[in-house]
Structure 1
Amino acid sequence: MLDACLDRIARYDPSLNALTTFNTERARVEASASTQRWAAGRPCGPLDGVPIGVKDMQDVAGLPTTNGNPLMRGNVAEQDALIVARLRRAGAIVVAKTNVPEFGAGGNSVNPVWGATGNPYDPTRIAGGSSGGSAAALAASFLPLCTGSDTGGSLRLPAALCGVVGYRPSGDVVAHPGRPLGWSVISVLGPMARNMDDLLLMLRAIQGADAGDPLTVPTDPARFDDITPADIGGLRVGYSVDFGDLPVDPDVRVAFQARVKAIAPHVATCEPVDMNLGQMDRCFDILRAESFVAAFDATGEGSVDQFGAHVAANVALGRGLSFRDRAWAHLEQTRILRRFRERTDDFDIILLPTVPVPAFPWRQSYPARIEGQEMDIYYRWLALTYRGSLMGGPAITLPSGAGADGLPFGVQLLGRLQGDRALLSAALSLEALFASMPATRPLTPDLKLTLSAQVDLKSPVTHPPHETGTGQTIQVGSAV
């Protein structure tokens, strides 16, 4: 199996650039040992011998964790991150690291160290981010499982663009002891896979508490072992095409409404829901900037010249925050959570699009305008996903056929806070429903066409050091 993965990677990854550094020699040793265990009838765990990819923001002992930043090329990890250690204990074999935007900032996996990751369906288009390398590697069948992380949509957005499954769990599900702000639920770790069965297999290996993560508490280690598809005829589905007021490309609106129409006859209810829950964009701006200051500018005195434009923009926002801004954001997040809980009294899941625009060329950092509305900072176009992050509950993206451009179209499901089991159960049912209908069946990329495209994705990529988006100042102390 490892040889098959490495052969496919050798043939097609030069055209996609999904993977960065490789662990080939150690992987071959581990695969040989796994073969012997299986022959003896004594596998060490449920993933014994399964090749995986690890996002290049998570440590793998002996491999560099560059975060896509030139100054971190030589940052070789001494030990595995907890999520990687748990996967290894289950028998997984780390084959390679996967590409990201610099420090995970943005929805386009391009950086000055490794270059850009192309979409397996069209390598001139973005694969998404920040877990873009993982999503592309899965879609191209380089590896069966990959890790990801999510603050504003980094698991969900690339999964949708590449036609795979990305799951953002509730903050207590997968321990994240490396989170800079240990009490903040905004950033989580999660699994990515080509389908729900594979994703659940991976989730069972990585879930669980750790003393280094105060958001997690000991729970039943088998809590995800017996998840089965929900009775689709009993599902109560609420939906919103734009989270209440967001700009969404007309083609995306049409494609999403077609999915709603396809689902409606099979579920108990399928009704529009009001998702105007508060000042979600301003709230996220402050919470995100706070987390970037904690990670990159804790003293408030350092230079951000060593970072790219996106990190610098977030640090600049954070430097302008007041204590009142921070207090308001945490109060507003609490109010948003409570309003969302009221919405889910009437619905089991909330259905939304995942990405507001079709995949655009990878040389474009982000879309400057959507439906005529200017994006005032580089991540504003991710609002369909980052608004969902504010509730702290689970969210998942499922592939559902193609959009008008012929590329994968993903739908996003939001669940109740700590309602991960119910959301995963509903996702199993919707996955089966989508697979049963020709218009929504998952796609498979033709990598021979990808190979023939001959796109140069590894050219060095640089951005102005302090670009904040369109050049305007973002005033986070007032409504954005």
Structure 2
Amino acid sequence: MKQTIVSLSAVEQRQKIARKEISPVELVRAHIEQIESLNPGLNAICATDFERAIETARTAEQSVIMGKPLGLLHGLPIGVKDLTDTAGLLTTYGNTSYTQHIPKQDNSLITRLKLAGGIVLAKTNTPDMGAGANTRNEVWGATGNPFNTQLNAGGSSGGSAAALATDMVPLATGTDVGGSLRIPAALCGVVGMRPSPGFIGQDQRKLGWAVLNTIGPMARDVADTALFFAASMGADAADPLVFPADPATVWPQRRVELSALRVGYTEDFDCCQVDPMIRRVFMQRVRAIADHVHVCEPVTFDFPDAHETFDVLRAEGFLAQMGSVSENDLASLSPNVRANLELAQRMTLADRAKAHLSQTRLMRQFAQAFQKYDIILSPTTPVTPFPWTTWYADTIEGQAMQNYYQWLALTYVITLSTQPALSLPMGLDEAGMPFGMQIIAPLYKDGRLLAIAKEFEDAFAHQPNLSRPKTEFGKLTVRNDSLRSIVTHAPGTI
């Protein structure tokens, strides 16, 4: 019975709570049992808040019994990425300097989710300070891929993606600078969405006017993602980029006529390295989509400075976010974080001005393309998952990557453009691992992006080679201590 409960979509769970068919307490306990059963073999969940979650669920249950108005997420358990502050719950950022850090107040997004009835169940693993698309750190260890725990789950929201793929939580938060919502979603076979800047107001960004750093929803399917996104949306006086978006444009979802859609696609944005196997799988998916839409044709771009532009803007953000940590305890930072800070210290005001000009030109190319197309498709990642013991993909198509994050170019090009983007699971690649299709929409058309993604999901739902793949839970029930072997500092009490 409990396995059935955790396997239900978040939308179904919420409907059953409203109909009094399941109780929030029953639902929370079922997810706790799932975590205790599977997390020892996967290491996706770090700090937990089980006792408080059960107490919150009891209160939620009484609201149902008394017939009170229920929020969008009433009674639903949520996993929160360990980069996001949670009041009274250990938040380490994956960094050894914060193993005893228990925030006194929630990030404003978490406040909003709780007001919508969501119940924070646990924190999900992330790389040190979110630096990298391989979820491993010296506090909690590494998170394995739910389809093969020897491989990486992506990052930096890898713990959230792996927990979703194994039904440990129905909803989870993520953050995204260079692809941290989309990449782990692609590698673990779930949905991750980078929203338009400002749709989700939050008070944790140090650079208030910078558009690279966003926070967003992750779930197992598109409808759950839309529900979660709608509950996440809202203004925040501390966030100057807040856009007056209406949650009603996102949820309930509206239908879109696939046969009228104009689709552009690109294997590489004419500037990214992509493994030949991923190119083949991508084009197979494009041909399947072409059968359902009005136009499906290649689109070209000219982004000669994309990599250098992201280098500068990413480094600027890391320096603003973590400069004080580097001054006080540089040794506590992972090689990835130190690389960003060292890069930032070498840059000049001229570098910054050039980067912002380049980003503007890139954004305008996308704006022009969207005059012709409703959406643009690309692969989400350029490679299939590699071993978690390898820091990053250092060579693609025979070309050496210039740094630890250049292999993420398929997603950071979209970060630079500021367009909303979603990774939709579409079957397995030739290595038997999940394949994610990146769907990109015009700025502020987030609701339409989700609606189109839902139509694709429905169109291929009964085709195993094109629908969301499912992991085999039986392989994850054995404790995997190798995932914790890199831990050198014990975390604080959880």
Distance 2:327 2:484 in 1: 34
Task: Mark the runs of 5 or more structure 2 residues left unpaired by the alignment.
Answer: 1-26, 489-494
Report the equivalent of 1:117.
143
Residue by residue over 1:89-131, the C-alpha shift from the partner in whole angstroms, topping out at 9 and shown as x without a partner, is 0111111000000000000000000000011111111111000
SS in 1 for 2:216: strand
Alignment of 1:329 onto 2:376 = no
Q: TM-score, normalised by structure 2?
A: 0.91
Deviates more, 1:60-69 or 1:290-299: 290-299
Alignment of 1:390 onto 2:416 = yes
Report the equivalent of 1:440.
466
Report the equivalent of 2:369.
343
**Equivalent AA in structure 2 for residue 424 of structure 1:** L
Alignment of 1:57 onto 2:94 = no
- Over the aligned positions, Cα root-mean-square deviation in angstroms equals 1.7
8 Å Cα contact 2:42-2:480 kept in structure 1: no
Report the equivalent of 1:249.
275
SS in 2 for 1:237: strand
How many residues in Structure 1 have an aligned counterpart in Structure 2?
463
Query: What are the within-5 Å matches in structure 2 for residues 375-414 of structure 1?
Result: 375-414=401-440
Residue by residue over 1:129-179, the C-alpha shift from the partner in whole angstroms, topping out at 9 and shown as x without a partner, is 000000000000001000011000000000000100000000020012211
Distance 2:194 2:480 in 1: 34
Distance 2:360 2:271 in 1: 20
Which of 196, 209, 215 is the equivalent residue of 1:189? 215
Change in CA separation of 1:180 and 1:324 when aligned onto 2, cut-off 3 Å: same
Which of 107, 110, 115 is the equivalent residue of 1:89? 115
8 Å Cα contact 2:250-2:450 kept in structure 1: no
Shift of residue 302, structure 1, vs aligned partner: 5.9
Report the equivalent of 1:424.
450
Report the equivalent of 2:176.
150
8 Å Cα contact 1:122-1:450 kept in structure 2: no
Deviates more, 1:453-462 or 1:77-86: 453-462
SS in 1 for 2:122: strand
Residue by residue over 1:303-352, the C-alpha shift from the partner in whole angstroms, topping out at 9 and shown as x without a partner, is 63221101100000000001100000011111111111111111111100
Residue by residue over 1:388-444, the C-alpha shift from the partner in whole angstroms, topping out at 9 and shown as x without a partner, is 100112000000011111111110011111221221221111111221423202111
Distance 1:452 1:22 in 2: 20
SS in 2 for 1:388: helix
Alignment of 1:106 onto 2:132 = yes
Distance 1:364 1:300 in 2: 24
Query: What are the within-5 Å matches in structure 2 for residues 78-477 of structure 1?
Result: 78-297=104-323, 304-452=330-478, 454=480, 456-461=482-487
Report the equivalent of 1:469.
none
Shift of residue 273, structure 1, vs aligned partner: 0.5
8 Å Cα contact 2:223-2:253 kept in structure 1: no
Distance 2:476 2:299 in 1: 40
Distance 1:38 1:416 in 2: 39
Q: TM-score, normalised by structure 1?
A: 0.93
Higher helix content, 1 or 2? 2
**Equivalent AA in structure 2 for residue 308 of structure 1:** S
Give the percent of matched residue pairs that are identical in Structure 1 and Structure 2. 46
8 Å Cα contact 1:278-1:336 kept in structure 2: no
Distance 1:299 1:328 in 2: 28
SS in 1 for 2:332: coil
8 Å Cα contact 2:95-2:128 kept in structure 1: yes
**Equivalent AA in structure 2 for residue 432 of structure 1:** D
Which of 43, 46, 51 is the equivalent residue of 1:17? 43
8 Å Cα contact 1:34-1:43 kept in structure 2: no
SS in 2 for 1:181: coil
SS in 2 for 1:216: coil
**Equivalent AA in structure 2 for residue 84 of structure 1:** I
Report the equivalent of 2:8.
none
**Equivalent AA in structure 2 for residue 187 of structure 1:** N
**Equivalent AA in structure 1 for residue 342 of structure 2:** A
Distance 2:249 2:328 in 1: 44
Report the equivalent of 2:4.
none
SS in 2 for 1:435: coil
Deviates more, 1:34-43 or 1:381-390: 34-43
Distance 2:277 2:459 in 1: 22
Distance 2:481 2:151 in 1: 10
Distance 1:235 1:112 in 2: 47
**Equivalent AA in structure 2 for residue 392 of structure 1:** T
Shift of residue 278, structure 1, vs aligned partner: 3.9
Change in CA separation of 1:288 and 1:107 when aligned onto 2, cut-off 3 Å: same
Report the equivalent of 2:32.
6
Change in CA separation of 1:371 and 1:454 when aligned onto 2, cut-off 3 Å: same
Report the equivalent of 2:9.
none
Report the equivalent of 2:16.
none
Alignment of 1:45 onto 2:66 = no
SS in 2 for 1:262: helix
8 Å Cα contact 2:107-2:202 kept in structure 1: no
Task: Mark the runs of 5 or more structure 1 residues left unpaired by the alignment.
Answer: 463-480
Change in CA separation of 1:112 and 1:299 when aligned onto 2, cut-off 3 Å: closer
Deviates more, 1:195-204 or 1:40-49: 40-49
Report the equivalent of 2:58.
32
SS in 1 for 2:73: coil
Distance 1:159 1:30 in 2: 29
8 Å Cα contact 2:201-2:233 kept in structure 1: yes
Distance 1:342 1:36 in 2: 52
Change in CA separation of 1:201 and 1:172 when aligned onto 2, cut-off 3 Å: same
**Equivalent AA in structure 1 for residue 255 of structure 2:** P
SS in 2 for 1:411: strand
Shift of residue 454, structure 1, vs aligned partner: 4.1
Distance 2:247 2:449 in 1: 18
Shift of residue 247, structure 1, vs aligned partner: 1.5
**Equivalent AA in structure 2 for residue 53 of structure 1:** G
